[in-house]
Structure 1
Amino acid sequence: MSVFLGLPGASPVPSVPSVPDRLSVLYRGPLASCNYDCPYCPFAKRVDPPPLLREDRAALGRFVDWVVETTDVRLSILFTPWGEGLIRSWYREAIVRLSHQDHVDRVSIQTNLAARVDWMADAAPTAALWATYHPGQVTLERFLARCRRLDEIGRRYSVGVVGLPGHHEAALELRAALEPSVYLWVNAAEGHTYSPEEEARWTALDPRFGDSVRPHVSFGQPCHAGESAVSVIGDGTVRRCHFIDTPLGNLYDGSWRQALRPRPCTNRICDCHIGYVHLKPLGLYDVYGPGVLERILA
């Protein structure tokens, strides 16, 4: 017996959520090693064994292939490794390859700039770097040499520091030496309470410091995460963001597509930039514009 949909009395056809025209993807593979030993970082001087490095390389290769093949949506990619990715050749190669894909709007990575940046000349201008200066781990001259090379080859980047009291003088020197067009951001140090005077000093360097200095009450708030932004780990598990563990599906079986939709945040607070930047009430997409993933102001 045939059923004609749309006739009076017929049951409505369930709608299938559509994939947004643009999707931001934050990718984090198994890599957790770093060549720096910053006292405020739990991954300082951590060394990944060769089997884990091979696993990370294979996982990244699979992800890059997925991006290349997924041409029905415009993609922006931010690599957020626990450790330092650019000292590994496969991250550099991935950024260059993805930057030349017509459907990739942006590709960026969080980095300490320990590695040389000449390879960025092979990347398209869609590639950018989110760099962090760590006083005590590298000289200012060496760090600035990387920045100046990026300026020479015309690649976009932001630079930031952790707002510890002992970093303020170095941050002032950094600001004075950078090109005026380069955004210098400051992350509030975890566990540090800022007096009004301290907050004012850091805000003089970064007008957006107030976004970082106090956690944002996020419970029940609308967020782009899970709707037009997702996080992905090495095995392809897709989550709304790095801070909500509930999976939405898997990147490689397509189950993520049906899971995208507007959702309120389920966490009480959000205190990390890669999380709260997606909270809709904060309006930070307007502040950063197309540079939202690489933390470059509009």
Structure 2
Amino acid sequence: MDLTILYRGPLASCDYDCPYCPFAKRRDSPGRLRADRAALERFTGWVSRPTEDRLSVLFTPWGEGLTRSWYRRALTELSHLPQLRRVAIQTNLSCRTGWLADADPRKLALWCTYHPGQTPYDRFLTKTHELAALGIRFSVGVVGLADHLEQARRLRAELPAHVYLWINAAEGHTYTDEEAARWTRLDPLFPYSRRPHRSAGLPCRTGESVISVDGTGTVRRCHFVPAELGNLYDGSYRRALAPRACPLAVCDCHIGYVHLETLPLYDVFAGGVLERVPAAARPVAVAPPVFPEGR
């Protein structure tokens, strides 16, 4: 069985202070950090067990994982497992990059976000070139706020040519066609992020070949649907895996709507769905997104 797992443990602390993020500069207590470390070690132990399943893992912590040694160690160790097709993490890239030399670059990948005002531009750019020199697959993105536009343009000009620069629509922000066109010139796939996607009753891979797992091992179809499918560690989730339609009216986050079968994004990101790396170095929007009426 091919199974993609989105893992999110108790970690909720971040070293950045982004005004658009509810977890900015949040501090976890020592007890919460210990719980997060124990939960992650339990999860990586489960992934490391002998299995005929072919697994892919994306870590999507609320906070910044790579500032914690246990996430760096987990990514490195998992990258060497034969049953792992890909292991990736969402990160602000504030950590050093030297630890990646011990990982298998054929399997480990990073989904990086640049946050203007939180780190010096040159420092972030240098790290992207270090990743490229190490042979690590990665994408880089920016939240599509007006005061980020010039920095995003500079990034596109100075990133390694093969690196995809994605733009996330700012939560709650409505874009005029003129504004959207500016961002689309940087990221041809921005139209998929611009508005939420109608998803109610539509087929989605989540709950069948994609699942969400929390620190206790509770399995859900995705991060956005609270209904439980079982538990990872007792195997009860496996009986619940089946094709199923989305129960939500709309899906507005890339880690959710990328799995909608009505969108062409598995073809666009073929081989790089977890790390948001398109199959083509310069992606093009292959079909117009379908949006709810009136939006």
TM-score bracket for this pair, using the shorter chain length: over 0.9
Long gaps (5+) in structure 2: 280-295
Equivalenced residue count is 278
Q: C-alpha offsets along residues 86-134 of structure 1, whole Å, 9 cap, x if unaligned?
A: 0000000000000000010000000000000111111102000000000
- Is residue 196 of structure 2 the alignment partner of residue 210 of structure 1? no
Which of the numbers 216, 224, 231 marks the counterpart of 1:235? 216
Name the CA distance, whole Å, in 1 between partners of 2:112 and 2:132. 14
Distance in 2 between residues matched to 1:86 and 1:283, nearest whole Å:
31
Q: Which amino acid aligns with 1:78?
A: L
CA distance, structure 2, for counterparts of residue 232 and residue 58 of structure 1: 15
The 1-side partners of 2:264 and 2:213 are apart by: 24
**1:159 is matched by which residue type in structure 2?**
V
Three-state SS of the structure 2 residue aligned to 1:275 is: helix
1:275 paired with 2:288, answer no
Aligned residue number for residue 114 of structure 1: 94
- In structure 1, the residue corresponding to 2:93 is in which secondary structure? coil
Letter of the structure 1 residue corresponding to residue 146 of structure 2? P
Counterpart position of 1:16:
none
CA drift at 1:70:
4.9
Partner of 1:103: 83
Q: How does 1:138-177 map to 2 (within 5 A)?
A: 138-177=119-158
**Secondary structure of 1:108's partner?**
strand
1:34 correspondence with 2:18: no
Residue 288 (structure 1) aligned with residue 286 (structure 2): no
- The whole-number CA distance in structure 2 between the counterparts of 1:176 and 1:294 is 21
The alpha carbon displacement at 1:174 in A equals: 0.7
Distance 1:53 1:106 in 2: 25
Partner of 1:18: none
Q: CA–CA distance in 2 between the matches of 1:38 and 1:226? A: 32
Measured in 1, the distance between the counterparts of 2:260 and 2:50 equals: 26
TM-score by length of 1: 0.93
Cα deviation for residue 29 of structure 1 reads 0.2
Query: Which residue in the other structure is 1:24 paired with?
Result: 4
Q: Return the alpha-carbon distance in structure 2 between the equivalents of residues 285 and 87 of structure 1.
A: 30
The aligned residue for residue 204 of structure 2 is 223
Tell me which residue corresponds to 2:44: 64
Q: Distance in 2 between matches of 1:236 and 1:91?
A: 17
Shift of 1:72: 1.8
For 2:35, the equivalent position in structure 1 comes to 55
SS in 2 for 1:121: helix
Corresponding residue SS for 2:101: helix
CA distance in 2, matches of 1:283, 1:234: 31
Q: What is the aligned-residue RMSD (CA, Å)?
A: 0.6
d(CA) in 2 for partners of 1:165, 1:178: 20
Q: % of aligned pairs identical?
A: 64
Runs of 4+ in 1 over 6 A off after TM superposition: none
How big is each residue's C-alpha offset from its partner over 1:18-73, in whole Å with a ceiling of 9 and x where there is no partner? xxx21000000000000000000000000000000000000000000000015221
CA distance in 2 between counterparts of 1:178 and 1:290 reads 21
Amino acid at match of 2:2: R
- Please state if 1:46 is matched with 2:60: no
CA distance in 2, matches of 1:173, 1:77: 31
Distance in structure 2 (CA, Å) of the matches to 1:58 and 1:94: 12
Secondary structure class of the residue paired with 1:281: coil
**Residue 251 of structure 2 aligns to which amino acid in structure 1?**
C
Query: Which of 90, 110, 122 is residue 129 of structure 1 equivalent to?
Result: 110
Cα distance in 1, alignment partners of residues 33 and 205 from structure 2: 32
Gap runs ≥5 in structure 1: 1-20
Counterpart check, 1:80 vs 2:60: yes
Partner AA of 1:157 in structure 2? F
The code of the aligned residue for 1:161 comes to V
| Mapped partners of 2:119, 2:183: distance in 1 | 21
